[in-house]
Amino acid sequence: MTRQALGLLACLRATLLRELQIAVSSPGKVVNPLMFFVIASALFPLSGRLDLAVLGSIAPGILWVTALLAVMLSMEGLFRSDFDDGTLEQLLLSPQPLYFHLLVKVLGHWLVTGLPLVVIAPLLGLLLNLPAAGYQPLILGLLLGTPTLSLVAAIGTALTVGLARSGLLLAVLILPLSIPVLVFGAGVVDTALNGLPVAGLFSLLGALLLLAASLAPLAIAASLRISVQ
Amino acid sequence: MMQWLYKLGSPRHFYEMTTGFLPWLAGATFLLLGIGLVWGLGFAPPDYQMGDNFRIIYIHVPTATGAIWIYAMMAAMAAMHLVWNLKVADMVAKSCGIVGTSFCAIALFTGAFWGKPTWGTYWIWDAKLTSFLILLFVYIGVMALRSAFDSETSASKAASVLTLVGVVNLPIIYYAAVWWNTLHQGPSVLGDRDASANPPEIWIPAFFSGFGLIGLLFLIVILHTRNEILYRERRAQWVQELLTREPIHA
């Protein structure tokens, strides 16, 4: 392996470790999206006297929508502190390819914000009376879908990081673009509940993840260069 | 090629070039639109199934088609702005965004008022309707992002990037909507009308109003771009001269 490739690997490793260390030092970053996910999904059964069977049938949609919102809200902090203290400028000036750097940064962020959502989702499934056949597709679907959501949301975050208040604007930008993941993700669970084969839908979710992983870093990089000026 | 592009990309050249053919475009637009609408709304025979309700077609179909193609145009302009840094391309893209949003909204509203008497409902979560609603959201997102920036340069670049991200996403959204619809809903009510089976008295006015609305689309885009040029280049000498030379109608 050449010296340059080794340098890149070390750099990516450092980026990943840094994301994890930040999460450990400020646990709110991990806990808040999780709490949002739990509380927001618990609001749906409270909003009306729902039949348990009806609740179980809309549970996939509820879990996916709230997971999507939780990912989006957690993404706002992805570049914020780096932008404020100038780390982002150093990142853009770094000789290492920005593409891989950003990919790993989003991966690190997903590990501390997205993965916990996947882990706690079955518990919420129980609360929402999700039928037994739905758990495996729910977990696998979220595992494939939430990284895609993180990547798409990172584009919006990168575009709005230079703006003072970007929360609602981020939602307007990101939510329409997240719809395919939502449709296929909730669709996987729904299809499994109807006893139909789900392999094709998993492939589509995987395809979306590959597409997002290959193209989103380019858009994130372009957006960051615009925001840091 | 590059020289031609450079020349076209100069705001002043664009402004002067469009001054010449603007009256012709405006004349042709209003002629086509006038013939199409008067003929279509007033004289074309009523449909045997839908009666007079079908006349919405003369507005609905051109605006819906226009809303899709104008996004493609906006994306091409956004790419040109990002790659060659053409200022005019971005001004055209901004105008496209405004016209596209209105066309998309008009298509959705006329569709709703067509749906009520013919399908019995204003709204149905059909694949076409859903993807149009999302297209409207994407248009609104681009406009919202553009207006959030103070700096004109950042706003242009950011809006261009988001427009291009939308291009990758829109086909996926369309197929997601088609897939989702086919799972949840039976055969669609759309598509039961065969265009070739319609008599010429119905489709000839549609042809006129269609081209009229396309003309209107370009007309508004060009007029808005010209305003944008004057505003952004307001400190340039040629704009100052132009504004002081022309008599001001107060």
B127-142 confidence digits (pLDDT tens): 778 888 989 999 999 9
The type of residue at B57 is: I
- Whether residue B181 lies inside any domain: the answer is yes
Mean pLDDT, chain B, integer? 82
Nearest residue, CB atoms, B172 vs list A180, A191, A219: A180
The 8-class DSSP code of residue B45 comes to P
Q: Which residue has the tokens 């208040």?
A: A165
CA distance B159 to A177: 15
Whole-number Cα distances in Å, B21 to A37, A166, B17, B18, B99? 57, 42, 7, 6, 20
A contact residues 193-222, partner B, Cβ 8 Å cutoff: 208, 211, 215, 219, 222
In Å, how far is B159's CA from the nearest CA of chain A? Answer: 9
CA distance A127 to A131: 11
- Whether residue B238 lies inside any domain: the answer is no
- Whether residue B75 lies inside any domain: the answer is yes
- pLDDT tens figures, B154-170: 899 999 999 999 988 88
Residue B139 burial (CB count, 10 A): 27
The type of residue at A169 is: L
Which pLDDT belongs to residue B187?
A: 39
Query: Can you tell me the mean pLDDT for B45-51?
Result: 69
CA distance A176 to B140: 10
Query: Can you tell me the mean pLDDT for B184-213?
Result: 63
| Residue A61 domain boundaries | 3-227
pLDDT surpassing 50 at residue B192? no
Q: Is the Cβ of B173 closer than 8 Å to some Cβ of chain A?
A: yes
Query: In terms of DSSP H, where are the helices of A86-166?
Result: 87-93, 98-127, 135-160
Nearest residue, CB atoms, A183 vs list B162, B169, B176: B176
Determine which of B48-62, B79-93, B213-227 has the lowest per-residue pLDDT on average: B48-62
CA distance A59 to A82: 37
Which residue, A82, A220, A61, A89, is CA-closest to A155?
A220
Phi, psi torsion values for B149, nearest 5 degrees = -90, 145
Q: Which residue has the higher pLDDT, A127 or B130?
A: A127
CA distance B33 to B26: 10
Which residue, A41, A40, A177, A26, is CA-closest to A112?
A26
- Whether residue B5 lies inside any domain: the answer is no
Residue A53: which residues within 8 A CB-CB, separation 6 or more? A129
Query: Can you tell me the mean pLDDT for A208-219?
Result: 94
Q: Which residue has the higher pLDDT, A104 or B117?
A: A104
Determine which of A98-107, A168-177, B123-132 has the lowest per-residue pLDDT on average: B123-132
- Whether residue B2 lies inside any domain: the answer is no
- pTM for this model (two decimals): 0.86
Which pLDDT belongs to residue A77?
A: 80
- Whether residue B209 lies inside any domain: the answer is yes
Q: Is the Cβ of B6 closer than 8 Å to some Cβ of chain A?
A: no
- Whether residue B4 lies inside any domain: the answer is no
Q: Which chain B residues have a beta carbon less than 8 Å from that of A166?
A: 148
**Overall domain count for chain B:** 1
Which pLDDT belongs to residue B197?
A: 55
Give the mutation candidate from B82, B133, B163, B172 for the A interface (greatest A CB count, under 10 A). Answer: B172
Give the mutation candidate from B85, B145, B150 for the A interface (greatest A CB count, under 10 A). Answer: B145
| Residue B48 domain boundaries | 25-233
- Whether residue B136 lies inside any domain: the answer is yes
Give the mutation candidate from A172, A198, A215 for the B interface (greatest B CB count, under 10 A). Answer: A172
In Å, how far is B217's CA from the nearest CA of chain A? Answer: 25
Q: Which residue of B has its CA nearest to A162?
A: B149
- Provide Rg for chain B, Cα atoms: 21
| Banded pLDDT at B18 (limits 50, 70, 90) | confident
**Overall domain count for chain A:** 1
Nearest residue, CB atoms, A226 vs list B141, B158, B164: B158
Does residue B121 come out as left (phi exceeding 0), alpha (psi in the -120 to 50 range) or beta? beta
